[in-house]
Each structure stands twice: as structure tokens, then as C-alpha cells.
Amino acid sequence: MLRKKTSSNDVARIARVSQSTVSRVFSDSDAVRQKTRDKVLAAARKLGYAPNALARSLITRRTDIVGIVMADMTNPFYPTVLEKLTQRLQSTGRRALLFNVTPDRDVDDTLPLLLQYQVDAIIITSATISSEMTNECARRGTPVILFNRYVPGAEMSAVSCDNVAGGRLVADLFLNAGHTRLAYIAGRKNTSTNLDREKGFGERLRERGCPDWLYEPGEYTYESGFAAAQRLLARNDPPDAIFCANDIMAMGALDAARELAIKIPDALSIIGFDDIPAAGWPAYRLTTIQQPVDQMIEATLEMLDARIKDPDLAPVHRWIPGALIKRCSAKIRDAETTSHAK
């Protein structure tokens, strides 16, 4: 025989308060005196009572749940983002519902299921949403915010590192250090992060009279960075500086160079992008462009709050500058290190 669930009315009877007082205590209302709060919590513990968040959402029409969609959990950058983002959401009284999009599926296939959970908003990172699904979310009044990417021409709010500026900074660092044979190892094609990093790098090189550089495709993975570096370093005219579109590829490139006994950074400079925790490990000490993750998260939550209150707000794009993290994998003139150094 199933035991009847304890209700807020049972707690109210034991604590000798009204049911509405019990509700206010569990909604973190400051309007309840501490003495009354303590009585209610003691009664709840005695009865084994816990409030029903789903039932409360039917009344408030808010679930306090934010859906997070990720499609590249093997990239070490995104678990770091997920940890910080969920902690920050929890600090605001919200909970995160994570949907991991597998490589054989599209984000548009996942969002209808996510919307069934009546989430208050959706944050999409390392994945791309179509304009049709954006319109469907808008019709439902569910704000969508893109994190660390954007879709050109789409009516969606987005927060991203200024990847173009980061690419330009790397070009300047290489040229100022006297490098002449430059190379770029690309990330996953058609992603805004890769396109913008490549754009900034290439534009700045051309502006400074360097119209040619080497190029190898990659997939934002260690293996693709290792293989791309092998191809570059096997050339008759190998590069003396490589910009990798993210850190994990740069770590692969460093290991490929070590296998060939190439001295880093004397004979070859390598710079990554992201500043994942492993970039600072003694085995790598990778010079990189740090993504301002904390600032990006704060900007995302500001957008989220504003759009939950007013779903009709116009889309906003925020690009936040990254910072140079100088370590040991690249030759950099001291006069150039005006940003954060570690």
C-alpha cells in the first residue's frame, strides 16, 4: 500500500501556521520571521516534507529551469563552461537541464523535447539552431541565447568572445617576434568561432604585408591538431609559428613537434585559444588567448533575465575581448605583453 505524501497543509498543522506561510518559507521569502521559519522547517523535517517544484510552477507559470544544449562535450573547454554556468544559475535560484546533442543528431531535433519541460529559457553552446526553430521558440515565448557563437542574420541574442580581435592579436604577436613562416590549424568548419579566429588572423597578416600563410584543417580535437601539425612540419618549408583555433589542438601540435625534437619556442612558436585548465599544465605551458568565460556567463544571465521579463526585446549581440596568457610555447617580446600574464 502506497503511503500518502505529506502536504504543505500537514506541515502547517504541525507548525500551527497557515498553509500560505509554509509556501512563503519554501519560496525563500524574507517576509517570514525567523522564529516562524524555524518552526516550519522543523515540522517539515519531522514529517519528511519537501515542496513540489512542478506543482508550484503550475501556479507561477515559471519552472526556474534553464535548458542548456551542448554538442561537443569532448572539447575540454565546454565541461569547464558547464560547471561554471550551472553553479551561477544555481546561485540565482534556477536549475539547469542539460541536453547533449550527439554528432548524428541536429539541435533542431532536440529542442522540441526540451520545450516539453517548459523551461524558462534556453542557452545553446557548441551547437547551431535554425531560424525556423528560433521562430518556434519565440512563438512559445521561450528566450534563446547563443553562448560562444552566433548565427549571422538570425534573430537571436548571442554572447561570444571577440574571436576576430583574438586572431588579430596572435598575428601581431607572431610578426612582432620576427616569425616569417606562419600557419593556421583550423577548427570545425562553418562554426562562428573558427571563422572569426581565422578572419582576424588573416586580415591582420594581410594588413601588415604578409599575404601568404600555411593552412591545415582540424576538428577542434587533440588528434586533428596532432595530425595537422605533422603535415605542416613534414613540409620542405615548415612553419616557424602555428596558430591553433583552440587549445586542445595546440596541445596536439606541441606533442607532434616534440616527436620531431623541434625546440619550443626557439625553433617553433605555438599559440592556442580558450585557456582550458590543461593549457597551464607543466607538460604544455601553452601560450593562448583566454576566453573571458566568467564575463560571458554574466552577460548571458543578464540577457536571460531581461528576456524572461520581456520576451519581445530585440536581439542583442555581445562580443567580449579575450586576454593574452603568456606561458612558454611562443616567443613574445616583453613590450607586447600588456595583457594578463601567467
**Average pLDDT of the residues of the chain:** 86
pLDDT of the residue at 3 = 54
Which of 126, 28, 117 minimizes the C-alpha distance to 76?
126
DSSP letter (8 states) at residue 246: S
* Preceding amide of 51 cis, omega within 30: no
Structure confidence by residue, pLDDT tens digits, 60-98: 456 788 999 888 778 899 999 999 999 999 888 888 988
10-24, 234-248, 265-279 — which is least confidently predicted? 10-24
Domain with CATH 3.40.50.2300 in the chain: 62-161+292-321, 163-291+324-336
**Residue 328 — φ and ψ, nearest 5°?**
-120, 5
Q: What average pLDDT does the segment 49-56 reach?
A: 60
Structure confidence by residue, pLDDT tens digits, 217-265: 999 999 999 999 999 999 999 999 999 999 999 999 999 999 999 999 9
Q: Which residues, 6+ apart, have CB-to-CB distance to 339 below 8 Å?
A: 323, 324, 325
**Residue 14 near residue 48 (C-beta atoms within 8 A):** no
Structure confidence by residue, pLDDT tens digits, 319-328: 999 999 999 9
Q: Residue 145 above 70 pLDDT?
A: yes
Structure confidence by residue, pLDDT tens digits, 159-191: 999 999 999 999 999 999 999 999 999 998 888
Which of 68, 66, 67, 116 minimizes the C-alpha distance to 92?
66
pLDDT of the residue at 310 = 87
163-291+324-336 folds as Rossmann fold (3.40.50)
Q: Residue 338 above 50 pLDDT?
A: no
Query: Hey, what CATH class is 8-51 in?
Result: mainly alpha
Q: What average pLDDT does the segment 14-34 reach?
A: 77
Q: Which residues, 6+ apart, have CB-to-CB distance to 88 below 8 Å?
A: 297, 298, 301
Q: Which residues, 6+ apart, have CB-to-CB distance to 193 below 8 Å?
A: 148, 149, 160, 161, 163, 187, 245, 246
Q: What average pLDDT does the segment 193-212 reach?
A: 96
Q: Residue 53 above 60 pLDDT?
A: no
Provide the grid cell at 225. 591538431
Structure confidence by residue, pLDDT tens digits, 279-306: 999 999 999 999 999 999 999 999 999 9
Structure confidence by residue, pLDDT tens digits, 89-113: 988 888 898 888 876 667 777 778 7
Helices (H), 177-317: 192-207, 222-233, 247-259, 293-309
Tell me which CATH code domain 62-161+292-321 carries: 3.40.50.2300
**Residue 268 near residue 262 (C-beta atoms within 8 A):** yes
Q: Residue 26 above 60 pLDDT?
A: yes
DSSP-assigned states of every residue in 72-97: -TTSTHHHHHHHHHHHHHHHTT-EEE
Q: Which residues, 6+ apart, have CB-to-CB distance to 245 below 8 Å?
A: 184, 185, 186, 187, 193, 194, 197, 198, 218, 220, 273
